[in-house]
Each structure stands twice: as C-alpha cells, then as structure tokens.
C-alpha cells in the first residue's frame, strides 16, 4: 500500500523565531506544544499534511536510544548539533503500525518498537484537546542524517483544524518533498519499502515516487541546485532538502528578500532565510 506524506520535522534552535519566519511567509502557525521527552513544537497545517517546527527545549529530559528503541528527541538533538537547523525527518501517513513494522523489519530497515504517545493540544479557540499517535520508525543504514517514520493519528478529529489550514499566501496543499544524495539510486530499495512504491528514474541522478499526498523526489546535488537555484545540503548522504507547496500565485510570496524565481510559476525561499530548509512555492490553477 502506497503511503502518502504526513509531515516533515523541521528542527530549529529558536521555535518562536522560526514560527515568526513561517508567519512572515504567509503561513498560519499554531501555538507551542510540549512533548514529555524534552522537545517543543509549533505546527503549520495543510490538508492532510503539516510541518512540525521542533525545538530542543529541555535537553536533560531527552531519553537515549536503546536496543530496539528509537529516540525521536535524541535523533533531532544530534541532528541539530552535527548538521544544524533544517528538515530532519520525513513522515508518512500510518494506517496499521504492526503491518508497517513487519514490512520494515523484513526489508532490513526496521527493528524498532512502535512508539505510542499522547499529549494535550490547543485548538485555535484556545480550548485543550487530547491528541495521540503511534509511530513506526524505519532506518536507511546509508542515511544517518535523515529520519523516517509513519504516524497514525488516534484522534484525528482533535488534531486537524480547518482554521489553521487557511494561509495568507494561498497555500492549498503539499506538492511534494525533495531529498538530495550523491547517489540517489543507492537509496531506492529503502524508499521503495518505506513508501510502498518504487521510485522511478526520471533522468540520471533523479528519482521520483508519486504518493496519494505529494511526490517524493531524490536528486543529485547538481540537479537540485540547477532546478531550484539554491545549494544542496553539503552532506553526500541522503538528506531532506526542500518542501514544495501548491499556491494560487507563487509570485505573491515575497516576504524574503532572497526569494528567487528559478522558473516560471515557482518561487524559492532558500535555506539561509528558512532555517536550513528550502521552501518552494508553485503556482497551481
């Protein structure tokens, strides 16, 4: 079964500054939430997808990795220390955690316990609700600086808020995410198991997988720079680099002085202005 995009974790040093930056780009940004393992987040919601801006707020509370146990907090803490700010984890929509774990384990990309947790969330009107999730982690051994898991929402009616999905920049959905790697083909087997579909070769150094919610592209740093007009992550291993948004008018997104138009109908806000991520706005009719 093909798994659609669910969210991207974007780890930052200053959650309020990152929220203000997304807000200046015309996104509606949710309130601060707290995890019991030392991280805080703020969310940008789109239909069926969200960006999780994440801060390592309480380092002493972060649990270590263990045998068969993946620590979300430790991975992002280490990413921030070793790589810096930027998109750290790609998350797909979960449907059956046990079945997904079996797929990842049998393919040699799993071996982790399913992680269930709940927290309090805040609606736009200020009221509190409970949200709960089941996370099933996968790992590409050749990609130590990219995290992957599926996420099943136990109370989706408490999580998704139409008011938070209305954005001044006209963003109507996630068009896709872009990863970079020196050798994209080396990650095809992992992505096939993780996505539930085979990435297809577009040209040398460029693979594309279509999902029910957004495309997943992997391309060489050279092709990435040519297409988007910004430098790829310097790490040669698989890295999340860009988020692509569908908007009514990409030319209207001009909050950043360095926003560029590498091609007609596309505006790119580079990693120097988006806390290590490239944000790509694409006009859709």
pLDDT in tens, 248-276: 988 888 655 467 777 788 999 999 999 99
Q: What is the pLDDT of residues 48-96, one digit of tens each?
A: 999 999 999 999 999 999 999 999 999 999 999 999 999 999 999 999 9
Q: What is the mean pLDDT of the chain?
A: 94
pLDDT of residue 261: 78
CATH topology match: 5-165 vs 173-283:
yes
The structural domains of the chain, with segments of one domain joined by +, span: 5-165, 173-283
In the chain, helix, strand, coil percent, each to 5?
Answer: 25, 40, 40
pLDDT of residue 124: 76
Do the beta carbons of residue 159 and residue 126 sit within 8 Å? no
pLDDT of residue 254: 64
Does domain 173-283 sit in CATH 3.40.640.10? Answer: no
- Its pTM stands at 0.96
**pLDDT higher than 90, residue 245:** yes
pLDDT of residue 264: 81
In terms of CATH architecture, what is 5-165?
Roll (3.10)
**CA–CA distance from 127 to each of 9, 31, 121, 165, 177 (Å)?**
25, 11, 8, 18, 32
């Amino acid at each position: 079964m093909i798994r659609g995009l669910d969210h991207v974790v974007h780890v930052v040093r200053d959650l309020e500054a990152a929220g203000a930056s997304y807000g200046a780009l015309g996104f509606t940004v949710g309130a601060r939430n707290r995890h019991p393992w030392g991280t805080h987040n703020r969310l940008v919601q789109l239909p069926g997808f969200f960006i999780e801006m994440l801060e390592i707020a309480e380092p002493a509370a972060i649990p270590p990795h263990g045998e068969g146990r993946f620590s979300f907090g430790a991975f992002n803490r280490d990413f921030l220390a070793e790589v810096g700010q930027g998109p750290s984890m790609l998350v797909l929509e979960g449907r059956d955690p046990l079945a997904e774990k079996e797929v990842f384990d049998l393919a040699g990309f799993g071996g982790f316990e399913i992680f269930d947790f709940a927290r309090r969330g805040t609606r736009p009107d200020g009221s509190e609700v409970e949200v709960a999730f089941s996370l099933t982690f996968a790992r590409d051994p050749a990609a130590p600086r990219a995290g992957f898991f599926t996420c099943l929402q136990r109370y989706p009616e408490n999580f998704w808020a139409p008011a938070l999905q209305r954005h001044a920049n006209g963003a109507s959905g996630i068009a896709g995410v872009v990863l970079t790697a020196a050798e994209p083909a080396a990650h095809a087997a992992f992505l096939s198991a993780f996505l539930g579909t085979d990435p297809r070769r577009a040209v040398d150094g460029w693979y594309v997988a279509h999902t029910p919610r957004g495309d997943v592209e992997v391309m060489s740093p050279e092709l990435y720079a040519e297409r988007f007009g910004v430098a790829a992550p310097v790490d040669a291993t698989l890295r999340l680099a860009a988020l692509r948004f569908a908007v009514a008018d990409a030319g209207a997104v001009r909050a950043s002085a360095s926003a560029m138009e590498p091609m007609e109908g596309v505006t790119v806000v580079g990693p120097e202005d988006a806390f290590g991520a490239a944000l790509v706005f694409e006009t859709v009719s």
